[in-house]
Amino acid sequence: MGLSGIAWLTPLAERLARAAEDEPSGKPAKSVIILWMSGGPSQLETFDPHPGTKISHEATKAIKTAANDIQIADNLPLVAEQMDSISLVRSLTSKEGDHERASYNVKTGFRPDPTLVHPSLGAIVCHQLHDDVEIPRHVSILPDQYPARGGYLGDQYDAFKTFDPVESIPDVRPRVSPTRATRRLNDLTNVVETSFARGRISNLAQRTMHNSSIEAAKKMMSSEQLKAFEVREAPEALKKDFGDTPFGRACLAAIQLIEVGVRCVEVTLAGWDTHINNEELVRGRCRELDPAFAALIKELKARNLFDSTIVLWTGEFGRTPKINAPGGRDHWPHGFTAAIAGGGIGGGRVIGETSAEPDEKAADKVQFVKDPHPVEDLHATILHALGIDFTQEMRTPIGRPMALSQGKVISELLS
User: What is the pLDDT, as a whole number, of residue 170?
Assistant: 73
Which pLDDT belongs to residue 9? 43
CA nearest neighbour of 102 among 280, 283, 322, 272:
272
Whichever domain contains 274, its CATH number is 3.40.720.10
Does 62 reside within a domain?
yes
Which region, left, alpha or beta, applies to residue 200 given φ > 0 means left and ψ of -120 to 50 means alpha? left
195 and 266, same structural domain?
no
Mean pLDDT throughout 237-261? 98
Query: What residues contact residue 31 under an 8 Å CB cut-off, 6+ apart?
Result: 125, 258, 262, 263, 264, 265, 305, 308, 309, 310, 343
pLDDT confidence tier of residue 199, bands split at 50, 70 and 90:
low
Give the pLDDT score at 5: 40
Residue range 131-187, pLDDT digits in tens: 889 999 999 999 999 999 999 999 999 999 999 999 888 767 666 666 776 676 676
Provide the pLDDT for residue 340.
98
pLDDT of residue 180: 72
Q: Is the pLDDT of residue 188 over 90?
A: no
Q: Is residue 145 part of a domain?
A: yes
Do residues 120 and 210 share a domain? no
Alpha carbon 67 to chain centroid, angstroms: 22
Q: Could you tell me if 244 and 320 lie in one domain? A: yes
pTM of the complete model: 0.88
**For the segment 297-327, what is each residue's pLDDT rounded down to a tens digit?**
999 999 999 999 999 999 999 999 999 999 9
Percent of the chain at pLDDT above 70? Answer: 81
Query: Within this chain, do residues 106 and 137 fall inside the same structural domain, yes or no?
Result: yes
Q: Do residue 328 and residue 217 come from a single domain?
A: no
**How many alpha carbons lie under 13 Å from residue 186 in its C-beta half-sphere?**
6
Same domain, 57 and 128: yes
Number of separate domains in the chain: 2
Task: Please give the Cα distance from 239 to 243 (Å, whole number).
Answer: 6
Residues 41 and 110 in one domain: yes
Residues 150 and 291 in one domain: yes
Q: Where among 183, 199, 224 does a domain terminate?
A: 224
Please say which residue of 182, 208, 224 terminates a domain.
224
CA 13 from centre of chain:
36
Q: What pLDDT was estimated at residue 366?
A: 65
Look up the domain containing 178 and give its range: 172-224
Q: pLDDT tens for residues 344-370?
A: 999 999 999 999 887 767 666 766 899
Looking at the fold, whether 104 and 208 belong to one and the same domain comes out as no
Which has the higher per-residue pLDDT, 249 or 167?
A: 249
